Each structure stands twice: as structure tokens, then as C-alpha cells.
């Protein structure tokens, strides 16, 4: 066999292999799409195929509960009390832990949880966190429905979602929309990283479930955008991502509260004007604008116009990262802060305090 024949043979074998690989990928993708569609496409009795989210709803809806406040007439205390609808909640575990919004149960004296199967339970408040507007309740019951949870695949803009709750105390209701945006913060304390959706979230939906088309929980419904006193209805609604909510739930179950660190400063990101005024080499870091005179920063002699460039040895790219690291630091821990002061770099040790939670 000549060299030409050998090259021709190898070329044909290589081409055949590439063609087979391409066909395999096409077939695999086809069946993947078929399996994806099968969960959304339902065959009706008349053999017509329609788009449906019924399977997703059946997986998640039983675990979404209605939350009521039990009010007793003080003039007739022996009579049975009446239930006032407060909002919704989601059963997260077989032990009976329920996630809801703090503002849902904030003013309730006695809380009653109603399941979709007709059962009602009185519940105890395990803990709450006003900073993230989350609360954990607990009920005692057998064979409790549990919502599927998706912690590994963060929602993306354009994903179809369903909101489940008890709007206006009408009973469980499903609304549908998409994820309009992610990372919407600045609406609360800065600890939140909201999902924005156009799925309707009305009064009573708060604390309910935001699920994907597989029926997995991806967020806790919390608020609708309002302008003045006109209420919602703008198609701009918000949910707390389940990864954050799940983390807060674990801390509330463990400690009854969320323990956060505090430094006692207010800061702003570096912009070109500030960088020029303070003679900074780049735009990384956080410039201190104010210092609490009774806080850890003041005791460590941090001052306004200091620029924090490292926190506990980690570079500080901006305000959000710094505030997250401070909040995650165990109170009482000594942390080294690298700052630029008057053009010179220096390190200052700071002992972090516990953040005082202000309940508005």
C-alpha cells in the first residue's frame, strides 16, 4: 500500500468517525428535547397535545400552605376565634419546618397553618430575620408534603416560573411568568439578591413558592413593586432566591436568629474622581465615608477617606463583597484590614462586633 493509499484510507476513516459523532450528538439532543418537552406537553382526552404546567404544580402545590392569625374576641373569650388570612408559606422538611416572610407573621399572636388537604395546625415561631424578611415556623404532623428544592441551578433571565400562594385569601392560586432580572438588591438591607418576575404576586402571595417548570422551589415570593399608594399591578414582583432563603433557614433553626458581624462604617465604591482626589492606583476598594464612633472601626482608628483594599487578606473589589464578608464574620474575631491612608498602605487589626438587628 502506497503512502497515498494509506492517507486516503485514514482520511475516510476520520471523516466517517466525524459523521457518526455528529449524528450521535443530534440524536442525543433530540431525545433531550423530547424528554424536556414531555414534562410540559400533555395529551388530553381528545388526543390533542397542549402546553401544561400541571405536573410542576402537582409536585409543589401541596407543600404551599395558607397562614392565618387566630384572633380571640376578648368580650367573648369562650367562643371559638376567627381566622384572619396573613399570607402563605412553604413546608421545607418532614420535621415540619416552614419558610415564610417575616412581615407575614410579624404582628400575629397565634399562627394557624392550613394545608391543602384540609388539615390545620397551630405553629410556633422558630426564628425570624428582619434583614432578609424571612421567618421559620414549625408544625407537628405526619406525612407532611415537602416541596422539591433546587439549590444547584440558579435561575436565569427568561426562565418560565410559577408563583403559588393565597392571594387575598381566595385560596391557593397559581400565576405564571418569567424571570425578568436577577441580582436586584438595594430594595432592603443590601443582604438580599432578589429575583424579579412578572408572575403576579398579590397580597397574600407573600411567603409562597416561586417554582420552575419542574416543580422545584427557586424562591420565596416577597413583594410587588409599588409607586406611592397605588399598589402593585406593574408586572414587577420580587422573590428571595432559595439559596439565600435556605441558608437563612438553617441559621434560624440552629440559633433562632441570624448572627452577623458589624464593622461600623459606611462606604462607597471608588470612582475616577475619588481615585484622583485620594491618589489611588486603581478603582478597587471601598472608601470609608462615615465611622460609627462606638463601633469596631472607630476603636481600630479607621477614619473617613481611608480606602479598604483588603479584608482578612482578601482583595476588596467593591462595597457588596465587603459588606457580605463583614456580615459573615463571626463576632469577636480579629480581622486584618489593609487600607490606603493619604497615599500610604497600612494594616490595622479590627475586632468585629455583632450587628444589632433593628426591627422596623
pLDDT at 133 over 70: yes
Report helix, strand or coil for 268: strand
198 close to 159: Cβ distance less than 8 angstroms: no
Q: What angle do CA 169, 172, 177 make, to 5 degrees?
A: 110
pLDDT at 27 over 80: no
Where are the alpha helices (H) located in 39-107, listed in sequence order? Answer: 54-60, 102-105
Instruction: Select which of 135, 189, 206, 216 is catalytic.
Output: 206
pLDDT at 206 over 50: yes
Report helix, strand or coil for 235: coil
Tell me what pLDDT residue 182 has: 84
The grid cell for 320 is: 457588596
Tell me what pLDDT residue 273 has: 86
Distance between CA atoms of residues 266 and 256, nearest Å: 28
Tell me what pLDDT residue 189 has: 44
Q: Is residue 206 flagged as an active site residue? A: yes
Q: Is residue 133 flagged as an active site residue? A: yes
Distance between CA atoms of residues 107 and 299, nearest Å: 38
116 close to 64: Cβ distance less than 8 angstroms: yes
CB crowding 93-121: b at 16 or more within 10 Å, else e: eeebbbbbbbbbbeebeebbbbbeeeeeb
Residues 41-65 have a mean pLDDT of: 79
Q: Which residue has the higher pLDDT, 41 or 339?
A: 339
Residues 181-192 have a mean pLDDT of: 57
User: Given pLDDT bands bounded at 50, 70 and 90, which one contains residue 227?
Assistant: very low
Residues 79-91 have a mean pLDDT of: 79
> Which DSSP string do the residues of 136-188 spell out, in sequence order?
EEE---SS-----B--SS---TT-EEEEEE-GGGS--EEEEEEEEEEEE-SSS
pLDDT at 188 over 80: no
Q: Please state, rounded to an integer, the average pLDDT across all residues of the chain.
A: 82
**What is the CB-side half-sphere exposure of residue 257 using CA atoms within 13 A?**
9
pLDDT at 253 over 80: yes
Phi, psi of 347 (to 5 degrees): -115, 135
User: Which residues face 136 on adjacent strands?
Assistant: 99, 127
**Tens of pLDDT, residues 105-114:** 988 889 999 9
Instruction: Select which of 133, 212, 306, 353 is catalytic.
Output: 133
C-alpha distances out from residue 23 to 20, 36, 37, Å: 5, 20, 21
Q: Which residue has the higher pLDDT, 32 or 261?
A: 261
**Tens of pLDDT, residues 55-79:** 999 999 999 999 998 765 556 554 5
pLDDT at 266 over 80: yes
pLDDT at 36 over 50: no
Amino acid at each position: 500500500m502506497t503512502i497515498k493509499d494509506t492517507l486516503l484510507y485514514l482520511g475516510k476513516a476520520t471523516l466517517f468517525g466525524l459523521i457518526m459523532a455528529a449524528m450521535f450528538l443530534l440524536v442525543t439532543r433530540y431525545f433531550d428535547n423530547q424528554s424536556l418537552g414531555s414534562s410540559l406537553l400533555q395529551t388530553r382526552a381528545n388526543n390533542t397535545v397542549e402546553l401544561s404546567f400541571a405536573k410542576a404544580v402537582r409536585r409543589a402545590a401541596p407543600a404551599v400552605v395558607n397562614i392565618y392569625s387566630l384572633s380571640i374576641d376578648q368580650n367573648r373569650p369562650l367562643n371559638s376565634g376567627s381566622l384572619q388570612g396573613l399570607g402563605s408559606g412553604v413546608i421545607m422538611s418532614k420535621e415540619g419546618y416552614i419558610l415564610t416572610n417575616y412581615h407575614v407573621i410579624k404582628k400575629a399572636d397565634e399562627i394557624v397553618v392550613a394545608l391543602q388537604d384540609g388539615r390545620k395546625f397551630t405553629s410556633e415561631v422558630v426564628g425570624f430575620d428582619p434583614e432578609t424578611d424571612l421567618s421559620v415556623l414549625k408544625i407537628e404532623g405526619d406525612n407532611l408534603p415537602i416541596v422539591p428544592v433546587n439549590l444547584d441551578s440558579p435561575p436565569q433571565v427568561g426562565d418560565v416560573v410559577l408563583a403559588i400562594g393565597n392571594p387575598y385569601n381566595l385560596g391557593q392560586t397559581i400565576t405564571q411568568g418569567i424571570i425578568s432580572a436577577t441580582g436586584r438588591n438595594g430594595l432592603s438591607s443590601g443582604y438580599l439578591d432578589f429575583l424579579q418576575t412578572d408572575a403576579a404576586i398579590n397580597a397574600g402571595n407573600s411567603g409562597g413558592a416561586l417554582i420552575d417548570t419542574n416543580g422545584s422551589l427557586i424562591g420565596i415570593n416577597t413583594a410587588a413593586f409599588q409607586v406611592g399608594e397605588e399598589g402593585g399591578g406593574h408586572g414587577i414582583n420580587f422573590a428571595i432566591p432559595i439559596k439565600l432563603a435556605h441558608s437563612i433557614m438553617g441559621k434560624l433553626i440552629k440559633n433562632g436568629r441570624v448572627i452577623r458581624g458589624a464593622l461600623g462604617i459606611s462606604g462607597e465604591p471608588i470612582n475616577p474622581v475619588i481615585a484622583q482626589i485620594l491618589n489611588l492606583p486603581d478603582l478597587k476598594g471601598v472608601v470609608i465615608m462615615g465611622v460609627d464612633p462606638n463601633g469596631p472601626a472607630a476603636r481600630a482608628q479607621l477614619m473617613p477617606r481611608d480606602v479598604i483594599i483588603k479584608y482578612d487578606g482578601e482583595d476588596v473589589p467593591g462595597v457588596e463583597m465587603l459588606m457580605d464578608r463583614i456580615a459573615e464574620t463571626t463576632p469577636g474575631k480579629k480581622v486584618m484590614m489593609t487600607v490606603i491612608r493619604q497615599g500610604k498602605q497600612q494594616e490595622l487589626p479590627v475586632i468585629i462586633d455583632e450587628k444589632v438587628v433593628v426591627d422596623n
